[in-house]
Amino acid sequence: MLIEDEKAIDELAKKGYGEKDGKKYLLKIYEALYLLNSNKITIKQKNKTIEFSKLVDVALKKDEEAWTRFLIYRDLRSRGYVAKEGFGFGVDFRVYERGEYGNKPAKHVVFGINEGTKMQVEKLNETLEQIAHMGKEPVIAVIERRGEVIYYKVSKMRFINSKSSFDMGSIS
C-alpha cells in the first residue's frame, strides 16, 4: 500500500509502521488492515473509500495467509509491540521489545500457525533452530479457530535419544 502524504509518512514511521522503498513509503497489507480496522487511516482508490471487508478480500486474493498475518499483527500491536516482517519462515514477524524499536534489534521472531494445521516436526524444528541461530528468541503463535492468538516461547532442551533440541513452554 503506497502512502503519499508526507505528514502521514512521518507519523507512521515514528510508530513503526511501513518501510521506505526508494522514494516511496509502503505499508504491508497486514499493517494497512490493522490501521484501517483501528480507524487510524482511511484508504481511498479513485476518490472512493475502501471498506475493511473489501481490503480483506483483496488481501486474501494476494496472500492466502493474509488473515493469519493480520490476526497476529493486531494482537502484537494491541500488546504494545512493534512487529515487522520476518525472515521468510512463513507467517513470521520480527518483534521488538516495548520502547526498543529503532534503538535495538528485534529480540523475538514470532512464527504463526493456525490451529489444526498439520506441520512436520522436522520442518518446525528446523525453522526454530534457524531463528535461534540468528540470535533471536523463537515464539510460536497459534491462532485458534475463534481468532484468539496464544503464544508459546520455545526454549532449548535436549532429550535423550532424540534429535530435537526444542521444547515448547507457554507465555502470555
CA angle at 114 for the pair 67 and 13, rounded to the nearest 5°: 45
Active site residue 34: no
Round to whole Å and give the CA distance between 59 and 34. 12
Selected catalytic residue, list 136, 151, 156, 163: 136
Residue listed under C-alpha cell 487510524: 40
Selected catalytic residue, list 17, 73, 101, 108: 108
Round to whole Å and give the CA distance between 139 and 154. 6
Round to whole Å and give the CA distance between 163 and 160. 8
Active site residue 108: yes
Active site residue 136: yes
Longest dimension (CA), the chain: 63
Selected catalytic residue, list 96, 107, 151, 156: 96
Query: Position 131: which residue type?
Result: I
Query: Position 20: which residue type?
Result: K
- Active site amino acids: 96, 108, 136
